Amino acid sequence: MLDFYNIDSLLSEEERAVRDSVRRFVDDNVLPVIGECYVEGRFPKEIVPGLAELGVFGANLPEEYGCAGLNNVAYGLIMQELERGDSGVRSFASVQGALVMYPIYAFGSEDQKRHYLPKMASGEIIGCFGLTEPDYGSNPAGMITMAREQPDGSWVLNGAKMWITNGSTAKVAIVWAKTNDDKDQRSIRGFIVPTSSKGFRAKDQKGKLSLRASDTSELVLEDVRVPADALLPKSGGLKSPLMCLTQARYGISWGALGAAMACFEEASSYAKTRIMFDRPIGGFQLQQLRLAEMLTEIVKGQLLCVQLGRLKDRGEFTPQQVSLAKRNNVSIATDIARETRRLLGANGILAEYAAMRHMANLESVYTYEGTHDVHTLILGQSVTGLNAFGA
Amino acid sequence: MKIAVCIKRVPDMESRFRITGDGKSVDEAGLKFDMSDFDGYAVEVALQMTEKLGQGEVVVVSLGPDAVQEALRKALSMGVARAIHLKTDRVPVDGFAIATALAAELRSGGYDLIMFGKHAMDSMNGVVGAMTAELLGLPNVNSVSKLEVAGGKGTARRELEGGAEILEFPLPAVVTIDEGIARPRYPSLKGIMAAKKKPLESKPVQLIAPRLEPTRTELPPERQGGRIIGEGVAAVPDLIRLLQTEAKVL
């Protein structure tokens, strides 16, 4: 991969080693199969044991829970390399690490951490994250899923969750629900729900034209009873799931760059070898403009991510800074994928090339984990102090 | 079972190379480096051997400036126990100078097996393993595609043109490793973190005076454009003549 700004010099030897190891894994295990998986609409679950052995799940969580204990820049580089393969593969790891392991780590009891985290790092337990509902996407505070505490201390959950990555694959779901008929968002708490629980159903989302190599499901909870210790004791209010989303969005900022880098590599190599009018198409100004724009945006995005990661490692980053990075990097990646598709001409519509797959995937990434528009409002509010959200 | 694997740090062979101003060597500025491929196979074979035996120690050794420590740490991240850095200001072109320094280090190490890649990806000399064996007075088998040890003896397979050769030899011995013997593992993220805490001993060594020095290093000539010498069957005699006399490939 072209390192036009010597960004490698901003990385430690260890960070580069992590990236290079995951890069090689993706080259060997993801790239050869992903086009076919995409067409078949199948998540390549055969790569999960290898990813676990490599240590990518929850890689920035501490070693004492069976994780790799990496810093956040190294973690970001892992996300970049996974999404260089496919957004679906990165989504799988994001959900497992940032949306399931992280809340257990941040809001769980010591027993929950010791029980779940090592098994999730080793891939023995796959998890999913249930926040979004059919009628409450950008407005999760309105959720209607309810958990009612029973006299014996157990909880009974009712509701439905939608657009849940890993939903049909997962052994456990982190389900966010309002508690005890209190409609206020401050009553929201997280529960670790085994997907084998009576009354729990996951339904594969059919007809996706994006993230086809990813499991996206709908979860239905009908009188699902879980014991008292299923509650994440330190979770409280909408702030808790939003903290998870900040973690995941951080990873997405890096991941989107990976997809952009894959497209840029494809575009530049195609431009140098595809002959039209007796010369490589890269010799034409229109294609050079495309390539120059792509390269510029990738470099800017990389610098953004490295600095964001350093801030995160120092404990100084804000959710608004993450919004800026997610919003920018996914947007430029979406544009780069589309321009690559166009540069490749008719070949660009084939699954044999990565561009259109990334292009379609990134439309989901643009929309999930805070839509592009929602991040715009977060930044707008940060600048003006005025809330432009509906409520 | 105590195994030493001697490794070399080499540039990524897919880089675009430039020659230094004095025309004698490759300009290292801007190049990415990694452990030489065959050395990676050797590390993997050594690790598998001790894992299978359930005992033993794998040590990696590399000679050169401080930058070679990155290759040593990569081996540590794959699972090697410790590393020795023989510190010099450069990697000499004369393989004998390298072999002399390695032999001095390895002689007293009590190794049952000393392994090398069959040659380095950059210099492609393939002499350091054999020279080290000779200096240590040990048996030497080169380009090994399969290796087993038991009862103080080693058995090695070597691929030949259209066949193979199986050799038996006493330990200790020096073996150089061919490709295809084992796929080097991905350094795990935990392994990368653990590598920082493993012992890496750096000791300065004095190289003997080199007996050979490069006078010039050249890049391959720029590829020339093709030439159309005619069309159809009529052009074939001319084509054959030019392939014989000009291109000299027939």
Q: Which residue of A has its CA nearest to B183?
A: A28
A24 touches chain B (CB under 8 A): yes
Mind telling me how many Å the CA of B220 is from chain A's nearest CA? 21
Residues A45-63 have a mean pLDDT of 97
Q: Which residue of B has its CA nearest to A53?
A: B188
A2 pLDDT above the threshold of 90: no
**Cα–Cα distance between A79 and A57 in angstroms, integer?**
10
A8 pLDDT above the threshold of 80: yes
Residues A145-152 have a mean pLDDT of 97
B199: which DSSP letter? -
The CA–CA distances, whole Å, from A196 to A157, A160, A201, A202 equal 14, 16, 8, 10
Mind telling me how many Å the CA of B40 is from chain A's nearest CA? 13
A228 close to A52: Cβ distance less than 8 angstroms: no
Using a CB-CB cut-off of 8 Å, the residues of chain B touching A4 are: none
Q: Which residues contact A145 (CB under 8 A, 6 or more apart)?
A: A130, A133, A157, A158, A159, A160, A161, A175, A176, A177, A178, A221
In degrees and rounded to multiples of 5, residue A261 shows phi and psi of: -65, -40
ipTM score of complex:
0.89
Residue labelled with tokens 């210099």: B123
Using a CB-CB cut-off of 8 Å, the residues of chain A touching B74 are: 17
- pLDDT 10s digits, A250-268: 999 999 999 999 999 999 9
pLDDT tens, chain B, 250 aa long = 999 999 999 999 888 899 999 998 899 988 889 999 999 999 999 999 999 999 999 999 999 999 999 999 999 999 999 999 999 999 999 999 999 999 999 999 999 999 999 999 999 999 999 999 999 999 999 999 999 999 999 999 999 999 999 999 999 999 999 987 889 999 999 999 999 999 999 999 999 998 988 899 998 888 777 888 888 898 999 999 989 988 888 8
Query: What is the structure's pLDDT at A339?
Result: 98
Residues A277-293 have a mean pLDDT of 97
Residues A342-362 have a mean pLDDT of 97
CB contact under 8 A, B192 and A17: yes
**Cα–Cα distance between A12 and B34 in angstroms, integer?**
15
A9 pLDDT above the threshold of 90: yes
- pLDDT 10s digits, A333-346: 999 999 999 999 99
Active site residues of A: 369
Q: Which amino acid is at B126?
A: G
A229 pLDDT above the threshold of 90: yes
- pLDDT 10s digits, B83-100: 999 999 999 999 999 999
Q: Which positions 50-79 of A are in contact with B (Cβ < 8 Å)?
A: 53-56, 59, 63, 68-70, 74, 78
Dihedral sign computed on CA atoms, order A162, A217, A50, A77: negative
B186 touches chain A (CB under 8 A): yes
- Return the residue in B189, B196, B200 with the most chain A beta carbons within 10 A, the one to mutate for interface testing: B189
Residues A174-195 have a mean pLDDT of 96
- Return the residue in B31, B72, B73, B186 with the most chain A beta carbons within 10 A, the one to mutate for interface testing: B186
For all residues of chain A together, what is the average pLDDT?
Answer: 96
Using a CB-CB cut-off of 8 Å, the residues of chain B touching A71 are: none
Using a CB-CB cut-off of 8 Å, the residues of chain B touching A13 are: 70, 73
Query: What is the structure's pLDDT at B227?
Result: 81
Using a CB-CB cut-off of 8 Å, the residues of chain A touching B193 are: 14, 63, 68-70
Residues A132-158 have a mean pLDDT of 96
Q: Which residue of A has its CA nearest to B196?
A: A14
Query: What is the structure's pLDDT at B179?
Result: 87
Of A8, A18, A63, the CB nearest to B192: A18
A356 pLDDT above the threshold of 90: yes
Residues A57-83 have a mean pLDDT of 97
Mind telling me how many Å the CA of A68 is from chain B's nearest CA? 5
Using a CB-CB cut-off of 8 Å, the residues of chain B touching A25 are: 186
Query: What is the structure's pLDDT at A268?
Result: 97
Query: What is the structure's pLDDT at A1?
Result: 73
Query: What is the structure's pLDDT at A391?
Result: 62
B189 touches chain A (CB under 8 A): yes
- pLDDT 10s digits, B29-58: 888 899 999 999 999 999 999 999 999 999
Of A8, A13, A56, the CB nearest to B189: A56
B247: which DSSP letter? S
Q: Which residues contact A52 (CB under 8 A, 6 or more apart)?
A: A121, A122, A123
